[in-house]
A and B are shown apart, each in its own frame.
Chain A
Amino acid sequence: MTVRVARFSAAERAVHWAVALLMTACILTALVLYNGSLAMLVGHRHTVALVHVWSGFALPVPMLLGALSAAYRLDVRRLNRFTDADWAWLRSKDRRSGRIRVGKFNAGQKLNASLSAGATLVLLGTGTVMWFTGLVRLSWRTGATLVHDWTALALGLLVLGHLAYALRDGEALRGMWSGRVAVHWANREHAAWADEVEPG
């Protein structure tokens, strides 16, 4: 039988999947709002825009609620901090070999987390001034549209990359779904973390 260790608490998984759902809603409606052919096919622009805008406004809510959980706060701190090992891991060519002992998150996951969080806040801010057209002058709305477009494109690619890595590694996906991962996977992918939590 595979020995398993706890990786993500119920609160963390709830935050992850709530954000995933809202992000999917934002991306699908964004495609309709941005692509002319889809826009003409679907129509109902006001409804599509309402779903987009309110999914966007709701996006940070699960993350803020997550702050009530100690496990979530601890993992946010882990994601925030870059150690010498993280820099070495990013620079190395054999980063998957296990030579550099990775903590609970590797440097790529940390970068993904901070870039996603930053991009989400930028989209939230620019989206707000685009939606409430009376807030700032026209030239700033034009700037906000430009920033919103580019940031959305970058975040979309980031989300696709995140999905590609997750779907390639069933155990990582299982960790986010069930909360538990196989010890041998933890030893291989996150050796320094495995030492902290290893049973026995």
Chain B
Amino acid sequence: MPGRPERPRSAELDGTPVGRRVVLGLLGLGAVGVVTGSTVQQGLSRALAPVQMRDPTGLSQYIPIGNTFRYYSVAGAIDSVDAASYSLAVSGLVATPTTYTLADLRSLPQAAITEDFHCVTGWRVEDVPWTGVRLAHLLDLASPSPEAVAIRFRSFDGVYTENMTLEQARDDVLVALTMYGEPVTHYHGGPVRIYAAPMYGYKSTKWLSEIELTDRTIPGYWEDRGYPLDGIIGE
């Protein structure tokens, strides 16, 4: 009768358990990949970097060796801001609150940092060159009041915030204006973003609009969602 459950002693059940071996094999390969992947990736990205830098089609960025930037945006669509209308406020617990245009920032002393960019989730981009104004220099110009201990960064995406202590801010942290020798693009958080060399990417606020000095550390967007307050690479 159609529809009755079959009663097998099916020959199909006598074979070797290849399916199980495939599953276990993939799990083993995956585990080896997790442990050795960082080293393997370093080799692959060294080998492929010249290709990716010169690839006119841009297709090579889709080779998933994990050494290219991924674009994180926590807001909806973000309107780009052009060089002429951009402004950055330094506010809060400072003696001289200031608003900088992009031209103002460009006229200040520029510093350069070339470092690996690390995302907390694991991807990394090697040797990214940045230039911009040292955050420490902007803080000096603003003269923080004695009760100021931390910074709250804001983004013109309207959502993102970040925190950093004043002490951390005086380390290798740039108010970055260029990346790879070009003005920071909108996709990378331009025209002005933070680049905090000692820290994971989420500490480097994109589409920077305000640097507010505060009397305590106010957890930022990802810190509210469980990421560490300090976000030092390797910790």
Contact = CB atoms under 8 A, between A and B. Distances in A.
A149 B71 CA distance: 15
A118 interface: yes
A110 B70 CA distance: 35
B14 to A, nearest CB: 6
Interface string B61-98: 00011100111111111100000000000000000000
B114 to A, nearest CB: 20
Contacts of B12: 78, 81, 83, 103-105, 192-193
Interface in A139-153: 139-147, 149-153
A188 interface: no
B124 A143 contact: no
Interface stretch (A2-10, A19-27, A163-171): A2-10
B13 A78 contact: yes
Contacts of B122: 130, 138, 141-146
A160 interface: no
A6 B10 contact: no
Interface in B1-60: 1-8, 10-20, 22-27, 29-31, 33-41
Contact of B65 (A9, A83, A114, A146): A146
Q: Which has the most chain A C-beta neighbours within 10 Å: B27, B73, B124?
A: B73
Interface string A188-200: 0000110011010
Contacts of B180: none
A115 B22 contact: yes
B5 A71 contact: yes
B107 interface: no
Contacts of B124: 142
Given A145-B66, A146-B41, A199-B1, A114 B22 contact: yes
B22 A77 contact: no
A40 B187 contact: yes
B5 A43 contact: no
A44 B78 CA distance: 11
B120 interface: yes
Contacts of A36: 69-71, 187
A46 B35 contact: no
A71 B16 CA distance: 20
B23 A196 contact: no
Interface in A154-200: 180, 192-193, 196-197, 199
Nearest to B9: A196
A33 B70 contact: yes
A6 B2 contact: yes
A61 B162 CA distance: 37
A103 B30 contact: no
A143 B35 contact: yes
B233 A138 contact: yes
A81 B19 CA distance: 6
Interface of B: 1-8, 10-20, 22-27, 29-31, 33-41, 64-66, 69-78, 118, 120-124, 187, 221, 225, 227, 233-234
Interface of A: 3-6, 9, 33-34, 36, 39-46, 71, 74, 77-86, 103-105, 110-111, 113-115, 117-119, 121-122, 125-126, 129-131, 133, 136-147, 149-153, 180, 192-193, 196-197, 199
27 contacts: A3-B2, A36-B187, A39-B72, A40-B71, A43-B73, A44-B73, A44-B74, A46-B74, A82-B15, A84-B15, A104-B12, A115-B22, A122-B29, A133-B120, A140-B38, A141-B120, A142-B38, A142-B66, A143-B33, A143-B41, A144-B122, A146-B37, A147-B37, A150-B64, A151-B30, A192-B12, A196-B8
